[in-house]
Amino acid sequence: MRKLFILLALLMPFTATMTSSLSAQTVTVKNPWMWIDAPDPDIIRVDDYYYLVTTTMHVFPGAPIMRSKDLVNWETVSYLFDEIHDTPRYDLEDGTVYGRGQWATTIRYNNGTFWALFVANDEPHKSMVFKTDDPAKGWTLHGRLPAYHDASLFFDDDGRVYVFWGSGDIQLVELEPDLSAEKAGGVRKKLELKGRPSGLHEGSRVIKHDGMYYLLCVSWPNTGRQQIAYRSSNIEGPYDSKVILKSEFGGFGYVGQGTIVDGKHGEWYGVIFQDRNGIGRILTLEPCNWIDGWPILGDANGKVPEEVVLDEIPGSEMAPDGMRLYSGVSVSKDFQWNHNPIKEDIVRTDKLLTLTTSKLANTIYDARNTLTWRTWGPTCSDYICIDASKMKDGDCTGLAAFNGDSGVLTVKREGNKWNLIFTEENVSLGNNKKDITDVKQKVVETVALSKSKAKHIYLRFDGDFNPGRDIANFFYSFDGENWTQIGGDYKMIFDYRRLFMGTRYAAFYYSTKETGGTVNINYNY
């Protein structure tokens, strides 16, 4: 059955089409370019490869680095880090880091070394710097710097290194050439940005083109989100400004926040995210044309186009463990834990996850060792198969549409009975430590299970992220072929004040009374 789902995904409307001419071959893709939760993108090209990084906050390993030769087939080749241990909250102790953790990574390449910097948006609230000579080989923590909100690293031609950062005003700080600290006596100033709109103004991304410095930011004037470019012949400014993209798209609001990247044949592209409710913040792709020295994004009308022609030859193979998205873009799955995992309680192979509990929990929100992965649009379907027969009294396992408001399908042992329960769950978090202050649980439907049925039960969740939908439907099966729906339509939402992330698949197991139980979860057929 799993193979059937993958086959159906591969047969989804594949809108990439090949054309040829005497000079080049091209591929056409549709927007949204990546219909997955991928906020705060940064993208660079180094020789044959494009490298893309986005925000993943409270899931680990964090900051997946995706790589592609053609902007079509993307493989996750590494993560910046496996875990963060700056506070116990990363371990779901004395609070949480929901909606915090890693934010808005900037990735750059200079003289044979890849660099990445992001702010860890929790105590001690520092920027973390990583480096590698090859992202496919993994990354090393190089050091820590002060907290730079929505930062962009920049290596200038004269060997000097800077970071642009800020919300509202944009600051310029010079770093030591080895990125070990802020440079003593170096540049540190608020930039003069002519025409800067009032209000929130962030998402710095900086490039140099034809001798000019370009600072790209997103801003929120009263008329809606827009991407704005600032340029100057002097890195210290002053900078002139121009709106380079202001566009609604696909029945949703204005796109905004991202960057531009040079292609392999002299062309340029914009990569800008858009809020899309339940699925989170998806990526759009725009042609970028240099007009009067400005990187203007969009089609002839200045809008996000329905289709983009890439001056590339698409790869011949899918990314490993990939899924075909609506736009024709292939992105490999990222399996990430909700907060730091307890490694001693996990045995994981390519197809089987065995979990044992060593800490009690009350709900999915404070449960350790919850494995998550992205949903995708416009529709998605995925499932797991669970052996829950070795759980202890009070243990819970299952599959969720996981977010601040979650649809949760749970196999629960109560004494010598097993029940399948669909609940709608809503978490409340404190403002300081993001501690869990309340979880409301509404039981929608319950189905009694025998122990034998609990030994081999399939749980499935289908998502519909078409405009106006954001609906999750849940199903169960005992053979992987015949499915029964449970719980009705569940409305998925996005809430930036709590988890600040798109709805994810989540396979979970936790104990409420006594630790030491075990479940087996087949999750990757």
| Residue 58: Cβ-neighbour burial (10 angstroms; 0-12, 13-18, 19+) | buried
3-state DSSP assignment of residue 453: helix
| Residue 476: Cβ-neighbour burial (10 angstroms; 0-12, 13-18, 19+) | buried
The DSSP code for 196 is P
Q: Stretch 225-233: mean pLDDT, rounded?
A: 97
Q: How far apart are CA 249 and CA 31, in angstroms?
A: 9
Contact 27, 313 (CB under 8 A): yes
Equal fold, 32-301 vs 341-522: no
Comparing 16-25, 57-66, 209-218, 348-357, the range with the smallest average pLDDT is: 16-25
User: Where along the chain do its domains lie?
Assistant: 32-301, 341-522
Residue 277 — φ and ψ, nearest 5°? 60, -125
Per-residue pLDDT band for 223 (boundaries 50, 70, 90) equals confident
Res 10 pLDDT > 80: no
- Per-residue pLDDT tens digits for 304-357: 999 999 876 665 455 555 667 777 799 988 999 999 999 999 999 888 999 999
Res 119 pLDDT > 50: yes
Alpha-carbon dihedral of residues 311, 317, 323, 326, nearest 10 degrees? Answer: 30
Q: How far apart are CA 182 and CA 201, in angstroms?
A: 24
Which pLDDT belongs to residue 319? 52
Mean pLDDT of the chain, nearest integer? 92
Comparing 7-11, 216-220, 415-419, 431-435, the range with the smallest average pLDDT is: 7-11
CATH class for domain 32-301?
A: mainly beta
pTM: 0.94
Q: Residue by residue, what is the 3-state secondary structure of 301-336?
A: CCCCCCEEEECCCCCCCCCCCEEECCCCCEEECCCE
- Identify the CATH assignment for 341-522 out of 2.60.40.740, 2.60.120.200, 3.40.190.10, 1.20.960.40: 2.60.120.200
Distance spanning both ends of the chain, measured CA to CA: 9
Residue 137 — φ and ψ, nearest 5°? -95, -5
- Per-residue pLDDT tens digits for 165-209: 999 999 999 999 999 999 999 999 999 999 998 878 999 999 999
How many C-beta neighbours within 10 Å does residue 110 have? 16
